[in-house]
Amino acid sequence: MEPIEINHLQKLIDQHANKDVYVHLETTNGAYASHFNQDAYNVGAFIRNAKVSYQRGKVVGAGTTYRVGLKLDIGWIYAEGVNQYEVDENNKLLMAGHDREGRLMVALQISETPFNY
Amino acid sequence: MSEHVVVIYPHPDDEAFGASGTITTFREQGIPVTYLCGTLGEMGRNMGNPTFATRETLPEIRKSELIKACEVMDVELEMLGYRDKTLEFESTEEVADHIFTYLDKIKPSLVITHYPGHAVHPDHDAFGAAAIRAVEKFPVDQRPVVWAQAISRTHVEEIGEPDIQKDVGSVFHKKFETIMAHKSQADGMLAKMKQEEEDMEEAAKQWLGVESFYTWKF
């Protein structure tokens, strides 16, 4: 994945607007967070292959952290903290944020074909 | 009954960190070992450091790391095809039946798995419970011994000292090689010890040089 180039990413997000797309959205601080640090609390959520259509998608931010919002007819999809992106060989748009040790903290992925189960 | 050890953990690398020293000791004695690995660790957070995996490429990367680790340990591998993080939401009975199909074929003398309720990760707890349930499907006089591994911080105060404690120092080189086969995961987990490799192996030995288990009481 590459550091986000905001104008390029915005174009990629625009390409998927107003189409049926599959979304993978995830955030996690890991299953061991409270094991390694008693003061920490495990949190995480993911949704894979949610089928939606967004009328407008926008990436906002600068430097090391970006937010992406997708406006749906009756709701929103939101991710904060993405800082890298790529279009993989299956034409899926992958966005993610990693910590300094390379661990994934947040991911938002958009594809016109389903993600592998 | 001839000796055959079956190791049942949910994630590629659980075997490396948890039991690869013990496994190596068995293989050195010529005892066959089969690893039933539940998932491909599809939802792992570690993407290498620096990152070289994505959420979408991670399953295939971890699959090849797992195959390599099993070659290092010289064990048979069966991948059971569940999805990381979802094992606790499956039917325990169905997973147990699935595991039993392998156990019934192999007729193991010993099963190594996680200690349900003391294994920290929900997949560990769920797969350990299903593995023990699977062993219970054998008639009492045909059941293999089960060694259950607890890793929770409170396990000693809650269930006492583990009765099986394996000092794997003499085979630690093999254990370290098995851990390093899981490159995408080892990068992050050994990040604390960013030194020369020899020092790193020594530091890992302090941390992972003893593998302990509880003999399960049915």
Name the minimum distance, in Å, from the CA of A20 to any CA of chain B.
Answer: 20
pLDDT at B52: 95
Comparing alpha-carbon positions, the chain B residue that sits nearest to A27 is B45
**pTM tops 0.90:** yes
From the list A24, A28, A94, the residue facing B45 with the nearest CB is A28
Pairing of strands B164-167, A93-98: unpaired
Closest CA to B117 of B132, B102, B103: B132
Pairing of strands B33-37, B76-79: parallel
Fold classification of A2-111 (topology level): Protein Yojf; Chain: A; (2.70.180)
Subunit contact B55:A109, Cβ cutoff 8 A:
yes
pLDDT at B191: 67
Q: What is the pLDDT of residues A49-78, one digit of tens each?
A: 999 999 999 999 988 899 999 999 999 999
Comparing alpha-carbon positions, the chain B residue that sits nearest to A92 is B56
pLDDT value at A37 more than 80 = no
pLDDT value at B192 more than 70 = no
pLDDT band at B195 (very low <50, low <70, confident <90, very high): low
Angle (nearest 5°) at CA B148 between B145 and B149: 150
Name the minimum distance, in Å, from the CA of B45 to any CA of chain A.
Answer: 5
In whole angstroms, what is the distance from residue B174 CA to residue B72 CA?
7
Q: Region A20-40: what's the mean pLDDT?
A: 85
CATH number for the domain whose boundaries are B5-215: 3.40.50.10320
pLDDT at A31: 72
pLDDT at B193: 64
Q: Region A76-104: what's the mean pLDDT?
A: 95
pLDDT value at B33 more than 90 = yes
Name the minimum distance, in Å, from the CA of A69 to any CA of chain B.
Answer: 20
Q: What is the pLDDT of residues A21-30, one digit of tens each?
A: 999 999 998 7
In chain B, where the domains are located: 5-215
pLDDT band at B38 (very low <50, low <70, confident <90, very high): very high
Matching residue, tokens 């894979």: A48
Q: Cα A55 vs. chain centroid, distance in angstroms?
A: 17
Q: Region A2-13: what's the mean pLDDT?
A: 97
Subunit contact B121:A94, Cβ cutoff 8 A:
no
pLDDT at A41: 83
Q: Region A6-32: what's the mean pLDDT?
A: 95
In chain A, where the domains are located: 2-111
pLDDT at A50: 98
From the list B55, B120, B121, the residue facing A104 with the nearest CB is B55
pLDDT at A54: 98
In whole angstroms, what is the distance from residue A49 CA to residue A26 CA?
11
Closest CA to B135 of B102, B158, B167, B88: B102
Is the Cβ–Cβ distance between A103 and B58 less than 8 Å? no
Comparing alpha-carbon positions, the chain B residue that sits nearest to A28 is B45
Name the minimum distance, in Å, from the CA of A110 to any CA of chain B.
Answer: 12
Closest CA to A82 of A71, A70, A66, A69: A66
Comparing alpha-carbon positions, the chain A residue that sits nearest to B42 is A117
Phi, psi of A26 (to 5 degrees): -155, 145
Q: Cα B198 vs. chain centroid, distance in angstroms?
A: 24
Supply the mean pLDDT for chain A: 94
pLDDT band at B205 (very low <50, low <70, confident <90, very high): confident
Pairing of strands A84-87, B33-37: unpaired
Matching residue, tokens 């620096």: B50
pLDDT at B194: 59
Say if the ipTM goes beyond 0.90: yes
pLDDT band at B1 (very low <50, low <70, confident <90, very high): low
Contact residues for B6 (Cβ-Cβ < 8 A; gap 6+): B33, B34, B35, B36, B102, B103, B106, B108, B110, B111, B112, B144
> How many Cβ pairs within 8 Å bridge chains A and B?
64
Q: Region B74-91: what's the mean pLDDT?
A: 98
Pairing of strands A65-72, B164-167: unpaired
pLDDT at B196: 56
Which residues of chain A approach chain B closer than 8 Å at the C-beta? 1, 24, 26, 28, 30-32, 35, 38, 46, 84, 86, 88, 90, 92, 94, 96, 98, 101-105, 107, 109, 115-117
pLDDT at A44: 94
Handedness of CA B162, B128, B97, B61 (dihedral sign): negative
Q: Region A74-88: what's the mean pLDDT?
A: 97
In whole angstroms, what is the distance from residue B76 CA to residue A80 CA?
43
